[in-house]
Amino acid sequence: MISFTLKDNLNRTVPYGRVHLRASDGKYYTAYADVEGKVKFRLPPQSNEMYNVTITGHNVIPSNFNFTTLKDSNLPVLLDLEYNPAKITVDDNPLFSFSSQDTHSGIESIFLVLSKNSFQDFFFYQVKNNFDQNFENFNITLNKLKPGEYSYAIIVRDYTNTTSIYHGSSYFFIIEIPITYYIFIVSFIFILSMTAFTIFYTIYKLKPSKEHNRKIKPESPT
């Protein structure tokens, strides 16, 4: 991301100035400054490309110069990571917060990868900058998760598609089975047991009654 403020030779800002860029292969782009003369734009991720630049503005003599892009050899960096709450439950929507940095092309996106079986299977969340943004702090809110032990990895990618992967033995969290689950299981078993007992008891009581009824003979009429 390129960002600067347009000023004239008297050090006055140039509101709504225009920066015209033409690449050696014919690409052409115009970036516009705001009322405070601030302009920002992002170049295609291509090294060793020459650009001719013309800056124009109201009551300003056009100025010209050129530059050549260099290769972005810096890796994007994850500066800080935290999640909240510290002890995640099945009722939470965990919030992961990331602080990152890329001194040249800028952070394009961050991926949060989750797995319950050492990444044999996994699912991921992504947050990203728009093309004209250069944020370095990001938040990802997860859906509610089922109980279990989760490993996670962080992938940071810049606009040249260079990536850094962060993962280690400390990158995990555990979601405990809630006590209500055990209460539900015990209650369910109790209800089934009571139902079975009631059915058995009813059948047991009816069987002797039927046998007794078969033994009773009607009295002979007098």
Q: Is the pLDDT of residue 206 over 80?
A: no
69 contacts 46 by C-beta, under 8 angstroms: yes
In angstroms and rounded to an integer, the radius of gyration of the C-alpha atoms of the chain is 35
Identify each DSSP E strand in 103-209 by its residue range. 107-115, 123-128, 137-141, 148-158, 163-166, 172-175
Tokens of 133: 């943004």
Please report the DSSP string for 6-60 in residue order. Answer: -B-TTS-B-TT-EEEEEETTS-EEEEE--TTSEEEE---S-SS-EEEEEEEETTE
User: Other CB atoms closer than 10 Å to residue 131's CB: what's the count?
Assistant: 11
Residue 64 confidence (pLDDT):
94
Q: Is the pLDDT of residue 134 over 90?
A: no
Q: Is the pLDDT of residue 222 over 80?
A: no
Instruction: Supply the pTM of this predicted model.
Output: 0.72
Confidence of residue 85 (pLDDT cuts 50, 70, 90): very high
Domains of the chain with bracketed CATH: 2-68 (2.60.40), 77-175 (2.60.40.10)
Q: Is the pLDDT of residue 178 over 90?
A: no
Q: Is the pLDDT of residue 63 over 60?
A: yes
- Considering the chain, what is the average pLDDT of its residues? 86
Residue 112 confidence (pLDDT):
98
Residue 184 confidence (pLDDT):
62
Percent of the chain with pLDDT over 70: 84
Residue 71 confidence (pLDDT):
86
Percent of the chain with pLDDT over 90: 59
Top pLDDT among 199 and 24 is at 24
Tokens of 206: 């009816």
Convert the pLDDT of each residue in 37-60 to its tens digit.
999 988 888 888 999 999 999 888
Confidence of residue 177 (pLDDT cuts 50, 70, 90): confident
Q: How far apart are CA 186 and CA 178, in angstroms?
A: 13
Of 9-13, 53-57, 150-154, 175-179, give the lowest mean pLDDT range.
175-179
Task: Tell me the C-alpha to C-alpha distance, in Å, between residue 38 and each of 33, 69, 134.
Answer: 5, 21, 15
